[in-house]
């Protein structure tokens, strides 16, 4: 069985206006080899905190990568807290984040390789734009590229 490996880069972001307030998450998935965008979407979350929104970005990104049958996943996020929690450097103390963290860990374990790293906010503008579109429209941004 010779299955082609799909390696992806996932830019994620989450944000809330007011904390908590109207919140959204943004996801952009690109192929790691040539940077072709294979999925993008903005997700309206209703009222949430910034950290909850960041986790929803991660969850939406991992779920989309799983659906695309990716094997190797690298997540890029400007949320230092979430990245450090996912890398085991910080414990998840917030009761509202624990179930999101646990779901993210279950999704993470579906991939043969998973890494997550912190990037500066300036390098995450496209995902941030999707967050703001979702919040402004109060709905999911549906120009997401879907396969299948």
pLDDT tier at 143, thresholds 50, 70, 90: low
| Predicted confidence (pLDDT) at residue 22 exceeds the cutoff of 50 | yes
Would you call 48 helix, strand, or coil by DSSP? strand
For 66-107, what is each residue's pLDDT tens digit?
Answer: 999 999 999 999 999 999 999 999 999 999 999 999 999 999
Tell me the average pLDDT across 20-44. 97
For 104-123, what is each residue's pLDDT tens digit?
Answer: 999 999 999 999 999 999 99
Q: Report the pLDDT value the prediction gives residue 3, as an integer from 0 to 100.
A: 61
Return the half-sphere exposure (C-beta side, CA atoms, 13 A cut-off) of residue 93.
3
Q: Which helix (H) or strand (E) holds 80?
A: helix 80-86
Q: Which phi and psi (to 5°) does residue 29 adopt?
A: -115, 125
Q: Which residues contact residue 22 at a Cβ distance below 8 angstroms, ignoring those fewer than 6 apart? A: 16, 44, 46, 47, 135, 138
Domain boundaries, the chain: 7-137
Nearest Cα to 114, choosing from 83, 136, 147, 139?
Answer: 83
CATH architecture of 7-137: 2-Layer Sandwich (3.30)
CA quadruple 12, 25, 63, 4: dihedral sign: negative
């Amino acid at each position: 069985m010779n299955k082609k490996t799909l390696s992806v880069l996932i830019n994620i972001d989450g944000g809330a206006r007011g904390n908590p307030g109207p919140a959204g998450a943004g996801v952009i998935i690109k192929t790691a080899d040539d940077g072709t965008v294979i999925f993008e979407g903005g997700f309206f979350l209703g009222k949430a905190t910034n950290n909850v929104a960041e986790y929803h970005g991660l969850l939406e990104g991992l779920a989309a990568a799983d659906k695309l049958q990716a094997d190797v996943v690298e997540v890029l996020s400007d949320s230092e807290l979430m990245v450090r929690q996912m890398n085991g450097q910080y414990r998840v103390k917030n009761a509202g984040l624990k179930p999101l963290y646990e779901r993210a860990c279950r999704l993470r374990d579906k991939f043969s390789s998973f890494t997550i790293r912190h990037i500066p906010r300036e390098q995450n503008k496209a995902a941030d734009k999707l967050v703001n579109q979702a919040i402004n429209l109060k709905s999911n941004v549906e120009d997401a590229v879907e396969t299948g």
